[in-house]
Structure 1
Amino acid sequence: MPAPVAYFYMAIVTLGGATLFWSFSDGRAGNLMFDGGSAFLYGTTVVVYLYSVLPNFFANFTSLPLPFTSPTPELPANSHPPSFPPFPQSLRAPTLDLASSHLICSVALTGVLALQAGRWWAEQADIDEDDEDEMLGGEETEDAKLRTRESSPAFVDADKKQK
């Protein structure tokens, strides 16, 4: 690929990683769980790409004569068009390795998307609960009371013992 396209690609990867690590700054446990898993999968993708895809690509696919056509003399008007020669046997294994590495990268990046969608869904559930509490006029629901420290059985028992 031309150098400007490679630099653009590297900038997109760097921006994606920086955005993912920037979301850690929130510090909430839910974010740490979802973003930690996403960072692991994103890092796995970068490592697979750097240590498997790029070396394979540069070793086997940079000096290929493309397309793989064989020169044919002028054909009569009613003949079949020239066919492509068979795929080179020496490139079968490197092509399968390249495809396998790209499959690993795509599955890992799909996992990043799934984790970020799960994070969004979990945050929406929290927002919906907060909105529900506000709609009740500030009164706490029984579920909200159970979630607070003051209404926990251990806290109530400690208050009774002090009195």
Structure 2
Amino acid sequence: MKTDPDKTLKSKSYRGSASFATFLIIGPTCFFLGILFASFPYDFPLLWSKAPLPTNYLDTLETHLRFMHQSPPLIGRLLNIIISIGFLGFFSKLFRPHEANVLFDGGSLILYVIGAGVYATNIVKGLRAVSAPGGLEAAAARHEGPFSGDVELSREDSLRVLSASHTILALVLLGVLVLQAGQWYAEKAAREEDEELEARDLKRKKKN
């Protein structure tokens, strides 16, 4: 059985899930999941608990969000740099497309872009509304549509929307990790299959 030397060379040079670019993807993804996990105690009473909200809970949550948004500019720049590192990892892996990474890395990149969109639209805008003079009570959130008209969200509903955006972002980032783990498993299964085929070929050669 003849093998294509060019194909063999490409398969050896392609490292896939073992490459440094994969680390550039998984690192920022886990970092942002850690930030979202730190916000989960604030989001849980709004989304997942049926118990009445504690006294002054909305004030505490709004103060926390305002403190995060009004942090030094260095914090926001670091977050943007970490997001860019994730994109750098994707572009590094997709710069030389391989059949083993088009599906997994392509799907992961789509999810990562969706996550960046959720962060830039819902979360950043929500934090800006919280930091506005007077807070959410003064800056009423409105949605103008041809069918829905004007919808005014209460202070609690606005905070619930922000918490739901955190949950959506966490699910999207988990999807990125699942696809990267799927790529590792697929490459492992392919290597085991190749090893079995090579062992069979060696046995046939010995018999002949």
Give the alignment's TM-score, normalised by structure 1. Answer: 0.64
The reply to whether residue 6 of structure 1 matches residue 76 of structure 2 is yes
Which of 175, 182, 186 matches 1:118?
182
More contact order relative to length (CA 8 Å, sep ≥ 6) = 2
Change (3 A) 1:4 1:132: same
Structure 1 or 2: more helix by fraction = 2
Quote the Cα distance in structure 1 between the aligned partners of 2:134 and 2:80.
24
How far is 1:62 from its partner? 5.7
Quote the Cα distance in structure 2 between the aligned partners of 1:14 and 1:137.
46
Alignment deviations for residues 30-54 of structure 1 (CA, whole Å, 9 cap, x no partner): 3101111101100000011111110
Which of 80, 95, 112 matches 1:42?
112
Alignment deviations for residues 6-47 of structure 1 (CA, whole Å, 9 cap, x no partner): 111111110011102211134222310111110110000001
Change (3 A) 1:137 1:61: same
The reply to whether residue 104 of structure 1 matches residue 174 of structure 2 is no
Which of 188, 191, 202 matches 1:138?
202
Contact 1:34–1:118, Cα closer than 8 Å, also in 2: yes
Alignment deviations for residues 90-144 of structure 1 (CA, whole Å, 9 cap, x no partner): 531221111011111100000000000000100011111222233346357xxxx
The reply to whether residue 127 of structure 1 matches residue 191 of structure 2 is yes
Which of 88, 95, 106 matches 1:18?
88
Q: CA RMSD in A?
A: 2.3
* TM superposition outliers: structure 1 runs of 4+ over 4 Å: 62-65
Quote the Cα distance in structure 2 between the aligned partners of 1:61 and 1:116.
37
Q: Number of matched residues?
A: 117
Gaps of 5+ in 2: 1-70, 136-152
Percent sequence identity is 31
Give the alignment's TM-score, normalised by structure 2. Answer: 0.51
Quote the Cα distance in structure 1 between the aligned partners of 2:187 and 2:96.
13
Alignment deviations for residues 62-87 of structure 1 (CA, whole Å, 9 cap, x no partner): 6689xxxxxxxxxxxxxxxxxxxxxx
Contact 1:133–1:139, Cα closer than 8 Å, also in 2: no
Change (3 A) 1:99 1:138: same
